[in-house]
Structure formats: C-alpha cells, structure tokens
Structure 1
Amino acid sequence: MLKKRLIGVVTVKNGWAVQSFGYKRYLPLGKPECLIENLDRWGADEILVQVIDRSIDKLGPDFSLLEKIGRLGLETPLIYSGGIRSANDGVAAVQLGADRLVLDALLHDDHECIAELSHKLGAQALVAALPLSLLNGELRWLDYRTHTSSAISDKVLNLLQTGVVSEILIVDWLNEGGCGVFNTALLDTFPSQQLPLIAFGGIAGPTHIESILERASTMAIAIGNSLSYREHAIQKCKEALLGMPLRSPHYESKYPLLAHA
C-alpha cells in the first residue's frame, strides 16, 4: 500500500515563526530555523515553510530564509510557499534548496507561469494551494490578499486536471489554528476526487487524523501548531496511528545525543 505522509508546517510572518489562527491572529514562536530543525530531527516526512506575508507585500520569495535553511543540512524534503511571482522566482527557490513549491497567488494571477514552472521543474515539484470554506454547501475559494472568496472557476479546475501540479493543498482557513476541527466536507465536496490531496488547517489528534487519512484521495496531512510544543510530537502522533498507511515513526537522528532525549 502506498504510504501517506505527515507534513510539519512552519508559518513565517515578518521573519519570525508564528502560531497562526485563521490567518488573522499570530503568536510568535521564535526563529523559523529552530522549528524547522526540530521537525527534521523528529522525523517529519516533509517540512512545509509558508511565508504568509510575501505575496501580500509584493516582496517575492524569502531567499534569505531559504539560504539560512540551506545551511541546516536538512535530511527532510523541504516545501516552500510564499511570494513566488514568476518562473524565475520558482527556479531560484529550488536552486536554494526547496524540493517542492506551493503555488497560491499564481492560481489567481498567471496560469501560463504555472505551466512554465511545471515544464522547467516537473509537476512533482509543484503543489497548488486552495484555501477553502463552505457556504450553503458550495465551496468558496479565498484570495488571502484581498480577503474575498469566490467559487472555484472551471478554468482553475481544468488547469489542475491537466497535471501541471502533483498535489492539491486543501486549506481549511476558517479552522486554521484550531485543534481537531478540520472540516472533512472540504475534501468530500472537492470536484476532482482523482487529484491527490493534502489536508491542512485545524488538524490534531489520532482519531481526527485517521478520519482524514482514510480517504483514498488524501495522500498527506499537514500540521503546524500542535507539533511545535512537545519533543518527539511527530513520533508520538505516528505511534498512535499504527495500522494506518503512514511511514513508521523513528527516533534515529543525525543529532545522536538528542535521538532519545
């Protein structure tokens, strides 16, 4: 059986890692490099670094942060999100160590750029982010730059179905920052069930995680806040989910003195 993944998320705003609540309130956590290094040694299957103020402020990707992360010598694949405006931006982020890129604003602005990135990097390197909510049973897609929501257009769905990206990050932005409150109806009502999905936003607790991963289309869960406060949080989570098609928990580490701390 194909293994599913647990992705650790580090949210960055104004250069600092933050605990985010619905992308409206933020609690500072410290230097992002420290959280990223913890996720690496605790055994995350992937690490998603989302820099949430780059596109809003039209700053482009945070290359300085990527350079700092590159010096950590991570063993875990890195996904980067934030400020990608062009194919050149995306290629530069990969050259600085990102294994994959999350695209959000470009889905609203420039489909040709997404196609170009897919041609240059391969679809496996691209993830499309869709912050979604439900209104009267209809999916609504948030543009976080303007805080307005609309229906997902056929143009966007057709683009995704052409295979230019490898996975869709379904973000429950209303419940982001909560505990065990991800709305699974977002997954069930998404119109393209054949596309691999990643669930993110308000996910916590073995029972809740199991209810999400049991869906055939859900290939990964992404968790941020609940992994930031406890040593070996990822291992404990996986141990509670033994029997699910997740990669096994492990305590081996390139930091030998900390492997069994």
Structure 2
Amino acid sequence: MLKKRILGVVTIKNGWAVQSTGYKQYLPLGRPEFLVENLDRWGADEILIQCIDRSRQKLGPDYGVLALVAERSISTPLIYAGGIRNLKDAVRVVNMGADRVSIDSMLWHSPQEIESISGSLGVQALIANMPVCCKSKSLYWRNYISNQELKLDESTLSGLPLNCFSEVMLTDWKNEGQLRSFDSSIPLLFPMPDKQLVLFGGLSQPAQIQNALLNPNVAAAGIGNFLSYREHAIQAIKKRITDIPTRPAYYAEEDLK
C-alpha cells in the first residue's frame, strides 16, 4: 500500500507568508523561505508554496520567492502554485526548483495549455487545485477570480482535462484556516472515485487528519496555519496517526515533548 503524505502549506500574499482564514483575512507570519526551511527541517513529506495573489493580478509566478527558497537548499519535494499562465511559466518554475506545479485558474480558461504543460512535464508533475464547498449534498467549485461557482458533477468534470493531472487538490475554501473544520463529506462527493486526492482547508487535529486519510482515494492531507503554532508539529501529528501507512517522522520521541 502506498504511504499517505502530509503536506506543509505556505500561503503567500504580496511576497510574505500569511496566516489565512477563508482566503479573506490574513495575518503576517514572516518571510516564506524561512517557513519552508522549517517545514523541510521538521519532516514534511512535501511542501506546497501557494502564492494566492498572482493570478488575480495577472503577475505570473513569483520567481522572487522561488529564488529565495532555492537559496535554502531544501531537500523536501516542492509544489508551486500561483500565477502559472502557460508552458513557459511552468517550465521556468520547475527549473527554479519546484518538483511539481499546481494549477487552478487555468482550469477555467486554458485547457489546451494544460495539455501542453502535461505533455512536456508529465502527468506526475501536475496537480489540479479546485476550491470547493458543499451545498445540498453536492460539491460546488469556486472560481476565486470571478467568484463564480459551478456544480461539480460528472458533466462538469467531463469537460476538464483531469487526465493531465496526477492528483486533484480539493480545498475547502470556506473552512480554510479554521480549527477542526474541514468538511469530511468533500472526498465522498467528488464524482471521480478513482482519482487520487489531496485535501486541504481546516485540517488541524491528528484524529481529523486520520479520518481524512482513511478514504482510499485520498493520497495526502495539506496543513497550513496550524503547523506554525508549534515546532515539530508534523512529527506530533504522525505520531498520533494509527492504522494508516505514513512516512516516518524524522525526529526522536524526546523532540516532541
């Protein structure tokens, strides 16, 4: 059985790492390269760097942040999200140190360009990020630029190039940043049961994370704000997750006290 993963998520706005709540309220956390370095040292399985203001402002990827992270000699695999518009952007992001790229807004308007990126970098290098919420026992997919919402059913999915992605990241955007608030029905309602999922938004406690990872199509859980409250938080979470194969924590037990 493949081991499940814990992603450390660093949210960046205007070049600074922020604590985000529902992608509406933000508190500064500091320089993103230092947060990435901490997550690397504490044993995250992957690190997602998501720059949430780049696509909205049509700025392209934040190469400055990537350059600062590259200087820290991070060994943990990196995922980059934010501002990717085309194959050229994606290739440059990978050349600057990202192992994979996550795509959101292009799903709405550039399916052919996504196919080009996937053809060049490979399916394993791409993750689709879909902000969602539950209404009347259905998932609704949110375009965070236009604030449009679309019912995420089989008909909608059939028009998307999801075969170009190795995984789909379902972000509970309403509950993002709120303690123990992830909507556990989200992975159950996703209309493609065979697609590997990454869950994010409101995941904070070991028991809650374990329940999310118990879903057979869930490959990883992403944790953001809550990893900033305590050193070695990832190890503490892994220590308390049972009955699920996860990658081992790096630090000895005494480091978690």
TM-score normalized with structure 1 length: 0.94
**Alpha carbons 1:5, 1:247 under 8 Å: kept:** yes
The aligned counterpart of 2:241 is: 241
Give the drift of 1:147: 1.8
Give the drift of 1:138: 2.1
Alignment of 1:111-122 (within 5 A): 111-122=111-122
Give the drift of 1:64: 1.0
The aligned counterpart of 2:49 is: 49
Give the drift of 1:71: 1.0
Alignment of 1:164-243 (within 5 A): 164-243=164-243
**Alpha carbons 1:123, 1:164 under 8 Å: kept:** yes
Q: Distance in 2 between matches of 1:132 and 1:155?
A: 13
**Alpha carbons 1:84, 1:103 under 8 Å: kept:** yes
The aligned counterpart of 2:19 is: 19
Deviations 1:72-100 (A, max 9, x none): 11110000000001111001100101100
SS of 2:160's equivalent in the other structure is helix
Give the drift of 1:149: 1.1
1:46 maps to amino acid? E
Deviations 1:207-241 (A, max 9, x none): 11111000000000000011012111111110111
SS of 2:33's equivalent in the other structure is helix
Alignment of 1:4-83 (within 5 A): 4-83=4-83
Deviations 1:148-186 (A, max 9, x none): 21123735445345x211000000000000111110111
Deviations 1:171-203 (A, max 9, x none): 000000011111011110100010000000000
Q: Distance in 1 between matches of 2:71 and 2:178?
A: 32
The aligned counterpart of 2:152 is: 152
**Unaligned ranges ≥5, structure 2:** none
SS of 2:23's equivalent in the other structure is coil
**Alpha carbons 2:22, 2:177 under 8 Å: kept:** yes
The aligned counterpart of 2:127 is: 127
SS of 1:170's equivalent in the other structure is strand
Q: Distance in 2 between matches of 1:85 and 1:19?
A: 26
2:17 maps to amino acid? A
**Unaligned ranges ≥5, structure 1:** 253-258
TM-score normalized with structure 2 length: 0.95
Q: Distance in 1 between matches of 2:98 and 2:14?
A: 20
**Alpha carbons 2:114, 2:161 under 8 Å: kept:** no
**Alpha carbons 1:107, 1:156 under 8 Å: kept:** no
Q: Distance in 1 between matches of 2:229 and 2:204?
A: 13
SS of 2:47's equivalent in the other structure is strand
The aligned counterpart of 1:256 is: none
1:84 equivalent to 2:79? Answer no
**Alpha carbons 2:139, 2:190 under 8 Å: kept:** yes
**Alpha carbons 1:22, 1:174 under 8 Å: kept:** yes
Q: Distance in 2 between matches of 1:95 and 1:156?
A: 31
Percent identity, aligned pairs only? 46
Q: Distance in 1 between matches of 2:174 and 2:256?
A: 37
1:45 maps to amino acid? D
Deviations 1:6-26 (A, max 9, x none): 000000001110000000000
**Alpha carbons 2:11, 2:50 under 8 Å: kept:** yes
